[in-house]
Amino acid sequence: MVGVIASLISVIAAFIGVVIHVQNSGAAHQRHMEEKMVSQLTAGKEYERLAQIIGSAPDHKMNLASGRTLYQYERRWEVIQLLVDRSGDVVSIGVYGKDKAFHANFRLGGVKIILGETFIGKALPDDDIPSAANVYCGAHKAGYFEAYSELPLALGGDNIVLGISDIQTIVETVGYDLKPVCTLALLPQCTPPSGNNVVSAGYARCLLRNSKARQFRRSLPLSVVIIAAPGQEITPDMLIPPDDAS
């Protein structure tokens, strides 16, 4: 009898193990498909075309003072923002990773950057330094962002923003640790601009002169990528944090 019970327990344990494996494999496949979908999004295309690629309706819509409309998609592993002009073209794409395991990649000419793997200070060649930056650290959200204007054609020639943000993720489980960002925000030598959706050239220059700030940049994982359409400058309406749009 004892042997029968032991055998039954072994069978049940094996079955549970198979179920867990299948569930994990399914989640990994779904995440991989989501990463592929996000990597297909291209600024400058018609909004309806990108909405079809995403395959769901936006969770939030904001009509902005700039005359543009911000569509926000709350996905399982990320938040997608599409900023659309009056003609219906997407002027910028923003992707905010919520899960460190989410590794959507983006091609900037000959360089590939990967959410959750690439470090901000190592994303681009050393001679492509940020033209502007910002950092903020509050009770409920924190973020650090670097803007790059008119990248060389070898890097795609676009205007982009690279950064890290918690966007209200659960840091203890799957999200990003923003403690280094808050340390960076408290550097007495450099004063960041006020406001969450602006970047400052003076602040970027100050950070690049500071050895501690340079070290932080090279250790911060990339969780945010914002890419402007060709010919579009980085503007404040491209930098609205997801929790401000929801």
Intra-chain end-to-end CA distance of the chain, in Å: 60
What is the domain extent for residue 159?
40-245
Instruction: Give the closest residue to 183 by CA, choosing from 164, 167, 169, 156.
Output: 164
Q: Is 185 inside a domain boundary?
A: yes
Q: Which residue has the tokens 């925000």?
A: 185
Asked if the model's pLDDT at residue 54 lies above 60, the reply is yes
Q: How far is Cα 75 from Cα 172, in angstroms, rounded to an integer? A: 19
pLDDT tier at 18, thresholds 50, 70, 90: very low
Q: Is 192 inside a domain boundary?
A: yes
> What does pTM read for this prediction?
0.85
Instruction: Give the closest residue to 142 by CA, choosing from 110, 172, 164, 160.
Output: 164
Which are the contacts of 153, defined by CB distance < 8 A and separation ≥ 6?
109
Q: Is 224 inside a domain boundary?
A: yes
Q: Is 197 inside a domain boundary?
A: yes
pLDDT in tens, 162-207: 999 886 554 444 567 788 888 888 888 899 998 889 999 999 999 9
pLDDT given for residue 176 in this prediction: 79
223 contacts 101 by C-beta, under 8 angstroms: no
Q: How far is Cα 166 from Cα 25, in angstroms, rounded to an integer? A: 26
Give the number of domains in the chain: 1
pLDDT given for residue 128 in this prediction: 82
Q: Is 116 inside a domain boundary?
A: yes
**How confident is the model over 128-140, as a mean pLDDT?**
87
**How confident is the model over 53-68, as a mean pLDDT?**
96
Q: Is 71 inside a domain boundary?
A: yes
pLDDT given for residue 110 in this prediction: 84
DSSP, res 77: S
Cα–Cα distances in Å, from 172 out to 41, 117, 163, 166, 183?
30, 18, 20, 11, 19
Asked if the model's pLDDT at residue 22 lies above 60, the reply is no
pLDDT given for residue 3 in this prediction: 59
Q: How far is Cα 146 from Cα 192, in angstroms, rounded to an integer? A: 12
Furthest CA-CA distance within the chain: 78
Percent of the chain past pLDDT 70, that is, above it, reads: 85
Asked if the model's pLDDT at residue 90 lies above 80, the reply is yes
pLDDT in tens, 95-124: 999 999 999 999 888 889 999 999 999 998
**How confident is the model over 125-144, as a mean pLDDT?**
85
Average pLDDT in the chain: 86
Q: Is 25 inside a domain boundary?
A: no
Which are the contacts of 147, defined by CB distance < 8 A and separation ≥ 6?
130, 131, 132, 133, 159, 160, 161, 199, 204, 234
pLDDT in tens, 227-246: 999 999 999 999 998 988 77
Q: Is 20 inside a domain boundary?
A: no
**How confident is the model over 65-94, as a mean pLDDT?**
97
pLDDT given for residue 71 in this prediction: 98
